[in-house]
Amino acid sequence: MTRHLRQEFRQRAEELVALYPHARSATVPLCHLAQEQDGYLCEAAIEEIAALTGTTPAEVRGTASFYDLLHLEPVGRYVVGVCTNIACLLAGGLELLDHASRALGVPVGGTTADGTFTLEECECLGDCDAAPCVQVNSRFVRTTTPAALDALVAELRSGGSPEIPPFGTLSRVRRTVGLAVPAGQVAAERTRVRLETAASGGASG
Amino acid sequence: MAKLDAPRIVTSRMGFDDAHALPRYLATGGYTALRTALSMPPADVAAEVDAASLLGRGGAGFPAGRKWSMLRKSDLAYLVVNGDESEPATFKDRMLMERDPHQLVEGIVIAAWALQVTAAFLYVRGEFALGLERVQTAVNDAYAHGALGRDILGSGFSLDLVVHPGAGAYICGDETGLLESLEGKRGFPRIKPPYFPAVMGLYGEPTVVNNVETLSNLPWIVTNGGRAFAALGQGRSTGTRLFALAGRVRRPAVYELEMVHNTFRDLIYDPALGGGTTDDVAVKAFIPGGVSSPWFGPELLDVPLGQDEVAEHGSMLGSGSVVVFGPQDCPVRAAWRITKFFQRESCGQCTPCREGAGWLERILRRLEGGGGRHEDLDLLLDVCDNIAPGLGWPAQQTTICPLGPSIPSSIVSAIAMFKDEFLAHVDLGRCPNG
């Protein structure tokens, strides 16, 4: 099978699989990783994730389609999410969503023709003390007014913001530990740690 | 009068901008509780948590010590930490993960030692990119500091902690839905029995699932003793708790308060807390414990913030999120939006929830838009009764998990408290609140 994930991403994928006692647990993290490379989950990525996790493409697609952050179709470089749930509703979340739709020129769920923005209506994102809450690519941007949202959109249109990586990049902090041994041996290392601890666990009450 | 003299158990470092960084954590007593815990037999650490009578801070309020005791007899086990906070208007675990992640890591290691578990997973809600980065940084730094990994602080005890990102699904906050998700599947809650992951959890193995706030309490409990924790609060509600205040208040934020000795009125009005309502409007109603909880009217503002105290009045403290409505807020619209949330987040396994939520959402939308009929009120209650028979509280279960039976809470409350406003929508053909 030809590989779809580029070398850097493939290596990180193998490291992720090795973190779990069962490879299938890496499914969602691998979906995030594929989105970091491609911006969405394409067929080739789904096939490779299935091979990496010992599942089928249908199982990967079945899992991925359950989750809001995983996209089986291309989305914009910036996914703008406006919350309209209860705390934001009271603060004008629906009105801000309407404004965003007009400002971007797309309906809710739509992507701008140039592929820069996708607009989504979100459920509570947990930033209720700065309502209505807006996220761009899972980053809280605290643009609670139409003017502030417009300014952010303009900034993103003209080159972007260092605070907001393109859609797909979730955590920019990599796990730097437990991987001193090559990927693939990590699982064995984990098992060894567990056995050693169990053997020395005489203090267990 | 609000009682604000209790120690800050989980928010002691919130005054520091760099509380998430290891140097600040170490400079403020970080990882000393872990050293203390590791010098004690694991059973003694568990006994302190038992003595604290620490109730789980996720929403269900199950005693953490009892959850642990189910596991202690087993040999192979996992510790899973629930950081999938998604109950609307709840934003306390996000704060703990973003602003004091080492406190959480220390709590996790202490719990793992008490349980003699050597593999732990921290499931962080996917929408919390900053939280994921802060927690992963803390984990990396904790390994480097010797507080995680092999031979922790020279004790011979080893623990591997994996940070696992979610991907956007409220239902994964349910502990069995979370375990399915962690196994790489859809987050479908599991059919009970077995009731507890301690019997059959991650990969079918015995597992303890604890909430982020619950475990963030452990460093303090180990340092100060379970009895000191239990001395705070009253009755079953011991210690302090985080309350997320939102809606029509001057100072929406997360506040740590001693349980029972403060009331909803204190939380909303005390100058050091909510500071009163926006523009001094009257409280029309408030949600006392997340959108799954039945609403309270202003006559219940003096109910103490305690688990049993709120339950006595037919609701729950739940996730600790309080949302205040003012006179301008439309109860039909609020109930509609909350119902839309449940409809979107229903996993689809059980008919009452999957179908009922959709019907309720459409009826409420019609009412809110002024196209409803008088009979719609009975129709709403009838559909609600099919999801949670009797419409009492706690809600009767017809489904695998509590999501479905939580749907009627806002609808039944809104109709009971504001029936005239529902009827006005029908008679005027529009929202009377403008």
Whether chain A has a CB inside 8 Å of the CB on B244: the answer is yes
Where do the domains of chain A lie, and which CATH numbers do they carry?
7-72+172-183 (1.10.10.1590), 78-157 (3.40.30.10)
Contacts of A138 in chain B (CB under 8 A): 126-129
What percent of chain B has a predicted confidence (pLDDT) above 90?
94
**CATH class label, B232-325:** alpha beta
Residue A191 Cα distances to B129, B322, B380, angstroms: 30, 44, 54
For residue B165, give the nearest of A89, A171, A177 by CB distance: A171
pLDDT of residue A184: 42
Strands (E) in B337-420, as ranges, are none
- Note the CATH architecture for domain B22-229: 3-Layer(aba) Sandwich (3.40)
**A90, A140, A142, A200: best mutation site toward chain B, by most B Cβ within 10 Å?**
A90
pLDDT at A181 over 60: no
The token duo for A124 is 């509570």
A82 within 8 A of A93, measured Cβ to Cβ: yes
Across the A:B interface, residue pairs with CB atoms under 8 Å apart total 200
Contacts of B325 in chain A (CB under 8 A): 90
Q: What is the 3-state secondary structure (H, E, C) of chain A?
A: CCCCCCHHHHHHHHHHHHCCCCHHHHHHHHHHHHHHHHCCCCHHHHHHHHHHHCCCHHHHHHHHCCCCCCCCCCCCCEEEEEECCHHHHHCCHHHHHHHHHHHHCCCCCCECCCCCEEEEEECCCCCHHHCCCEEECCEECCCCCHHHHHHHHHHHHCCCCCCCCCCCCCCCCCCCCCCCCCCCCHHHHHHHHHHHHHHHCCCCC
- The pTM assigned to this predicted structure is 0.95
Residues of chain B with CATH 3.40.50.11540: 22-229
Residue of A nearest to B345 (CA): A123
Determine the 3-state secondary structure of B234 from DSSP. Answer: strand
A66 within 8 A of B186, measured Cβ to Cβ: yes
**Could you tell me the pLDDT band of residue A176, with boundaries at 50, 70 and 90?**
confident
How many CA atoms does the CB half-sphere of B414 hold within 13 Å?
29
pLDDT tens for residues A91-128? 999 999 999 999 999 999 999 999 999 999 999 999 99
Residues of chain B with CATH 3.10.20.600: 232-325
**Could you tell me the pLDDT band of residue A175, with boundaries at 50, 70 and 90?**
very high
C-alpha–C-alpha distance, residues B83 and B212, integer Å? 6
Please state the rounded mean pLDDT for residues B158-187: 97
Provide the mean pLDDT of chain B. 96
Residues of chain B with CATH 1.20.1440.230: 331-428
Please state the rounded mean pLDDT for residues B420-428: 97
Q: What angle do CA B259, B261, B263 make, to 5 degrees?
A: 90
pLDDT of residue B74: 60
C-alpha–C-alpha distance, residues A101 and A111, integer Å? 10
Residue of A nearest to B44 (CA): A205
CATH 1.10.357.10 fits B331-428, yes or no: no
pLDDT at A203 over 50: no
C-alpha–C-alpha distance, residues B11 and A194, integer Å? 33
Instruction: Please answer yes or no on whether A205 and B144 come within 8 Å at the CB atom.
Output: no
What percent of chain B has a predicted confidence (pLDDT) above 70?
99
The token duo for B13 is 């470092």
Please state the rounded mean pLDDT for residues B45-52: 96
Whether chain A has a CB inside 8 Å of the CB on B150: the answer is yes
pLDDT tens for residues B236-254? 999 999 999 999 999 999 9
pLDDT of residue A121: 98
pLDDT of residue B59: 84
**B87, B337, B410: best mutation site toward chain A, by most A Cβ within 10 Å?**
B337
Whether chain A has a CB inside 8 Å of the CB on B204: the answer is no
pLDDT of residue B72: 61
**Could you tell me the pLDDT band of residue B1, with boundaries at 50, 70 and 90?**
confident
Instruction: Please answer yes or no on whether B169 and A68 come within 8 Å at the CB atom.
Output: yes
